[in-house]
Amino acid sequence: MCSAREHHPAFKASFAERARNTSHPLANYLLRLMDLKKSNLCLSADVTSARELVTLADRMGPSIVVLKTHHDLVAGWDFHPQTGTGAKLGVLARKHGFLIFEDRKFGDIGSTVQLQYTAGSARIIDWAHIVNVNMVPGKAAVSALHESAKRWRSRVNYEVKTSVSVGTPTSDSFDENGEESDEGPFSNSSLAPRDRPSSSGFRPDYNGRKGSIVSITTLTQSFEPVDSPRFSGTINEGDELLYAGIEEPPWDRGLLILAQMSSEGNFMTKEYTDACVEAAREHKDFVMGFISQESLNSQPDDSFISMTPGCQLPPDGEGEEDGEVEGDGLGQQYNTPAKLVGLCGSDIIIVGRGILKAASPPVEAERYRRKAWKAYLQRTGQEI
């Protein structure tokens, strides 16, 4: 089911060693976190209410290194940048030591994916450390997301204070070129992502022509450095803790390229997968790895992380490690952590229903964590 990659140095290297050879700031952080927490488990938090999601993240946080979300299937997602669901997950991520991965699978032209990443109600880039891209539209989606992440990174540790005054419009208030930022045509491109004004007194239309003028709003901004995005919402005071033994994650965002899928009969050919690897090498300081069914490191200096969905264990006690696991009847196929991590060289297993549907999800998460970690130790020849 997977082509062996054991000849690549990363296959046998410990996560700590790989961290030392990885220049990507977030990949470096994640590998060190895995080593510290003895976990290579990502929980796919596919629950349908924001309340359940936040509770789940808090309960499962101790076992995982990545929390994977699909924000668009969550009812009641609160979009407030400082107190909303993304910010709450951020607090829990710092408390338990995990990264947030929004499994958004961007798959459109460059300009659209930039807007989907940085704008809209969700402003995914503000709260998700990691996102992924479906590269079917071509490599431009990767470079466009990279560009957005760089722009966001250069502004993010400045909080913007805005003061708003309303006055008479003047003709030179308009951008005659109709230039748009990656946050969208109606946004003020000079503002940091976390504190844009919600409305302005005029709106150029999409062609850059002057819109109708109601009044003109003048914004005065001052930029104040901040160390980290602090949550100021309703989570208990005591929850604002930091996971011990490692610093907070860097501001640098990471991208995973969707190189192979777990679903039966998917159309991701070898040619497509190879093109994903090529794109990753072209954007090494942004692409941290792949969603794939095996390690895709092949050139000597490749140090990409492979994260793998389609993972389940047979029930406790029934040939736990080597047993076959049936698919879900809707196209999903499953393999065990032993196979994915031990044989195929995957680094992180992504598990949803295998954990979520268990009688005790935290106990089951620990069982998955132990199995996936054992497979990693065996692969890298470390003592169990």
**DSSP-assigned letters across all residues of 43-109:** EE---SBHHHHHHHHHHHGGG-SEEEE-GGG-BT----TTTSHHHHHHHHHHHHT-EEEEEEEE-S-
CB of 262 to ligand 5BU, least distance (A): 4
**Residues 221, 332, 378, 380: which binds ligand 5BU (CB under 6 A)?**
332
Binding flag, residue 258, ligand 5BU (CB under 6 A): yes
- The CA-atom distances, in angstroms, between 374 and each of 141, 156, 355 are 36, 38, 18
Buried b or exposed e, range 258-272, using 16+ CB within 10 angstroms: bbbbbeeeeebeeee
User: Segment near ligand 5BU (CB under 6 A), from 51-59, 147-155, 245-253, 258-266?
Assistant: 258-266
Binding flag, residue 90, ligand 5BU (CB under 6 A): no
Angle formed at CA 31 by CA 28 and CA 37, multiple of 5 degrees: 135
Binding mask 13-42 for ligand 5BU (x = CB under 6 A): ------------------------------
Binding flag, residue 337, ligand 5BU (CB under 6 A): no
Q: Closest CB to ligand 5BU among 44 and 336?
A: 44
User: Segment near ligand 5BU (CB under 6 A), from 211-219, 245-253, 259-267, 279-287?
Assistant: 259-267
Q: What are phi and psi of 106, to 5 degrees?
A: -55, 140
Q: Which residue is nearest to ligand 5BU (CB)?
A: 352
Binding flag, residue 289, ligand 5BU (CB under 6 A): no
Q: Can you tell me the distance from the alpha carbon of 307 to that of 57, in angstroms, rounded to the nearest whole number?
A: 19
Q: Integer distance in angstroms from the first to the last C-alpha of the chain?
A: 26
Q: Can you tell me the distance from the alpha carbon of 186 to that of 180, in angstroms, rounded to the nearest whole number?
A: 8
CB-based contact 298:276 (threshold 8 Å): no
**Residues 40, 262, 303, 336: which binds ligand 5BU (CB under 6 A)?**
262
**Residues 43, 131, 261, 340: which binds ligand 5BU (CB under 6 A)?**
261
CB-based contact 73:48 (threshold 8 Å): yes
User: Which of 38, 105, 139, 374 is the catalytic position?
Assistant: 105
Q: Can you tell me the distance from the alpha carbon of 381 to that of 302, in angstroms, rounded to the nearest whole number?
A: 21
Q: Closest CB to ligand 5BU among 34 and 356?
A: 356
Binding flag, residue 114, ligand 5BU (CB under 6 A): no
Binding flag, residue 80, ligand 5BU (CB under 6 A): no
Q: Is 371 a catalytic residue?
A: no
**Residues 335, 343, 352, 367: which binds ligand 5BU (CB under 6 A)?**
352
Q: Can you tell me the distance from the alpha carbon of 341 to that of 345, in angstroms, rounded to the nearest whole number?
A: 5
CB-based contact 362:63 (threshold 8 Å): yes
Q: Closest CB to ligand 5BU among 28 and 134?
A: 134
Which residues does the annotation mark as catalytic?
105
Binding site for ligand 5BU (CB under 6 A): 44, 46, 70, 103, 258, 261-263, 291, 309-310, 332, 350-354
